[in-house]
Structure 1
């Protein structure tokens, strides 16, 4: 079972279908273990089987009692064409109890559901979370900034959309450049140009780092609900 899970994790980006086969093999051997059902859900989502992803996510949630994959559940509801159900699922959780990264992924998924319903103004409101800081880069920042850019473009606010897209690129470049500095969870990115983050040496000159102990958001992990 553990070998199948390891292979699923290794293959998820390169070959989602094969990763899903390994996940299904693990389910047959240990279907009552939460991480097995979680892996099955993630690989099903990666292959576009949103109905199966929903079933596996509900099973994972029932076994584990956790809401850490709520964004994936919301997005899977969108995937089967039920944006209203997606919004209901997202509203049913206590967002204050979620880790910052999970809360951001949920906000992005909820915003997407609002766009599905033709509600761009509400989609923008969904992204107004405490983690939205245009001047600092956390692991969740590139996806959050890009989602905001998408909604602003939908609203016809092109210049604002371009600015948020620029910041998404800067944040991603800054985080990539700092990848070798494991102690750095947060970067200040205001006024950094993308080319300034082309190397680690340039990054350290352009971006100030903060000790994780002083980071009010903590070291949230990246989730799998990126859109």
Structure 2
């Protein structure tokens, strides 16, 4: 029920997640769900607490980007950056690396440093020639940061890439509606002649970094299980296609 309702009614979804947590507080996906629904309602303190518990129970760092974003939501960008640097990024799945880069970039923007924010996004996955499920969010974050720096022409190029990547992914999803499709490889018209060697010049908007407002909740409070420290969930990625609409392979 939490999964069914979270997009349209996050408050009710959160109530279902809390009900599950009262009954199965030591199950990782339950705490992950409690965290995600709390995050969607803007309750960053509860979400952070639940994510810590989820990480401890599951032994995974796949929700690290959301944890970083929760610190941002609580008005603690320095702690967000410290948390993001606490894990070897190479050990994370590619999609999680991208989400973390976007969250870290947002923390840099919170501190008024758009140049450093742009640098956080200049990762190998910022490839204008290939579209993956996480590409539109990464391109968007890059474009938005370029705008912050007053580099509007470059930002416009990356906003256009956002549209092309989204269209390519939608086309692949339609063609493969009977199966799960995560990754799409597309040749993007008008991409830099430099190819993928220098992804750091043109721009994108922020993924998973909503308008944050500290809610003042005590993140040491417990959700309601016997464990003093607990948390919730995420999304997946990876499958190729071509931006002119032809399938790759």
Q: Structure 2: where are the runs of 5+ without partners?
A: 191-240
Segment drifting more, 170-179 vs 138-147: 170-179
Aligned residue in 1 for 2:119: 125
Partner of 1:186: 184
Cα 1:153–1:137 shift into 2, 3 Å: same
Supply the RMSD in Å over aligned alpha carbons: 1.7
For the pair 1:12 / 2:12, whether they are aligned, the reply is: no
2:41 is equivalent to residue 47 of structure 1: yes
Distance 1:14 1:207 in 2: 32
Could you tell me which residue of structure 1 aligns to residue 64 of structure 2?
A: 70
Following superposition of structure 1 onto structure 2, how do residues 190-201 of structure 1 map, counting pairs within 5 Å?
190-191=188-189
1:153 equivalent in structure 2: 147
Q: How many positions carry a matched residue from both structures?
A: 195
Find the aligned partners of 1:188 and 1:205 in 2 and give their Cα distance: 3
Match among 140, 144, 169 for residue 163 of structure 2? 169
Shift of 1:208: 3.2
What is the TM-score of this pair, normalised by structure 2? Answer: 0.75
| Equivalent residue in structure 1 for 2:83, among 66, 89, 92 | 89
Task: Measure how far apart 1:190 and its partner are.
Answer: 1.1
> 2:46, 2:13 → 1: CA distance?
15
CA positional deviation for 1:205:
9.0
Q: Structure 1 residues 166 and 159, CA, compared in 2 at 3 Å: closer, same or farther?
A: same
Deviations 1:143-177 (A, max 9, x none): 00000001000000000011111101111111112
**SS in structure 1 at match of 2:173:** coil
Counterparts of 2:100 and 2:243, CA distance in 1: 34
- Larger RCO: 1 or 2 (CA < 8 Å, sep 6+): 2
Question: Structure 1: which 5+ residue stretches go unaligned?
Answer: 1-6, 193-202, 212-227
Residues 71 and 106 in structure 1, CA contact (< 8 A), matched pair in contact too: yes
**More helix, by proportion:** 1
Deviation at 1:84, TM superposition (A): 0.3
CA contact (8 A) 1:187 1:208 kept: no
Q: Shift in Å at residue 138 of structure 1? A: 0.3
Q: Deviations over 1:95-122 (max 9, x none)?
A: 0011110100000000000000011111
Q: Is the 8 A contact 1:170 1:189 kept in 2?
A: no
